[in-house]
Amino acid sequence: MIWSHTKQRGVAIGILSAIAYFCFLSVAPISFLEKPCGDCNSLPDNVIAGKGWVDDSGNFADARPPGHPLIIIGLKQLADVVSVPEADMFILFNVFLLSFSAVLLYLIAIEVWRTNAVMLVPVAWVTCPFVVWFLNQPYSEVPFFVLFFASILTFFRSLKADAGKLFWYGLLTGALLGAAMMIRSIGIALPVIMGISWLALSRPWPKRVHSLYLIALFLGSVMLVLPWSLIMYKETNEIRFLGPPTLAENSIANGLKFVTNIDGDREKLAVSLDVANYAEHLYADIFVNEKTRVDSGQLLGQVSGLIKGVLDNPVPGISFYFLKLHRAWYGTYSHRLEFWTLLIQVGYFVLLSLSILIIYQNRLRPKYVFVLTTLVVLYFWTLALLFEPLVRYMVAPMGLLFLFFPAINWKGRGRLYSFQNCLQKERQSRVKG
């Protein structure tokens, strides 16, 4: 049975995943291997050159959390020590972490299902083109996937843990989320989502136990971020959590400019003239025009400007956000290959719909998977509506959606390993005792 060979299967999944990635890399075109990572190297190169933690302008670099640059610095230094080209070191690192994320998804899947079909989850992840896309460069998404999935695993296990272990599960889950935030600030609200999920799904513990878990969850998150917050305060004399609002402001601006801003790397987007004018004028009102623009640092004011834009021009405004709503699942920065990304997502949507239908027909209904996955998907989807709608931002929640795929092979031979089953067994043991 699959749950009696967890370690062996986990190791096998990791090895086979790595082999699959190396096989792809061996036939990947040069254009894939050499595609850029954006501004991944400037800060690490400045640190290695002895200039300090500064950007190319010589200013203290606090626009993004320090986790990702620290990883790149470590990889560059390691590559130098072992005399391996940096590009090869980045690929080895990515292969290892993406393979490990497949193992984590397998471990999450066996927390939900008791059927050999759980193997569909890591297979779907490893073969997903949107995951493979991250292989060649030190993208921040790669370590984020590992920390994010690890936090999901510890959260699921906390739902089945004894009261005496809940504080430590909460602290570990929070620490993993804090580390994820230090890699990508997009994870800033994930502790809140975990907290809501805990209140909705956990056993009927006394209020003290619930409070202890939630305190541990948020303590673990803050514990990892607080040192960086103190460093920023020392350097800027401003109180910040993960960083200034600059990154969010630029992302909001990009969420408006992507329709009309066609630079050398982007193809023209096919949208109606009304939608293009709406996005262009709203960007000008919020960021350009002296009379109407919102000052830098006023993030809530910019969000209010987005809402006001829809209220003032509802027809093009609704069309614009509907465009972002569906582009979040297949949109690319360059606007290229979107027919193929859409086609791939349609295939995943068919499999997901079939899985949910089978779950409903067999009354399996893994409640805690539905609740947490729905909240996570809605969170990332909302960010896609607020920022630029790119499929790369939806890859992490797609990993959770793959958890429904084992239902495709459901024929009554397996069973759902639910929290409810766990609770029922606990009650039965207490009665016997």
pLDDT tens-digit series, residues 170-194: 999 999 999 999 999 999 999 999 9
The pLDDT score that the predictor gives to residue 417 is: 44
The pLDDT score that the predictor gives to residue 87 is: 92
Q: Which of 155, 186, 174 is nearest to 222 (CA)?
A: 174
β-partners of residue 416 are 113
Q: How would you label 60-84 residue by residue, b for 16+ Cβ within 10 Å and e otherwise?
A: ebbbbbbbbbbbbbebbeebeeeee
Chain-centroid distance, C-alpha 402: 14
Q: Please give the structure tokens belonging to residue 77.
A: 């230094």
Q: Mean pLDDT of successive 10-residue segments in the chain (433 residues)?
A: 70 96 94 82 91 89 93 95 94 97 96 87 97 94 98 94 91 97 95 94 86 95 94 90 86 89 77 92 86 73 89 93 95 91 96 90 74 94 93 96 88 46 43 44
CB 192 within 8 Å of CB 170? no
Collect all residues with Cβ–Cβ distance below 8 Å to 366 and sequence separation of at least 6. Answer: 112, 359, 416, 418
Cα maximum dimension of the chain:
75
Query: pTM of the entire structure?
Result: 0.91
Q: Which of 127, 17, 116 is nearest to 408 (CA)?
A: 116
pLDDT in tens, 251-301: 899 999 888 876 667 888 888 999 999 999 999 988 888 677 777 667 788
CB 372 within 8 Å of CB 400? yes
Distances (CA, A) of 136 to 31, 251, 347: 10, 24, 25
CB 207 within 8 Å of CB 159? no
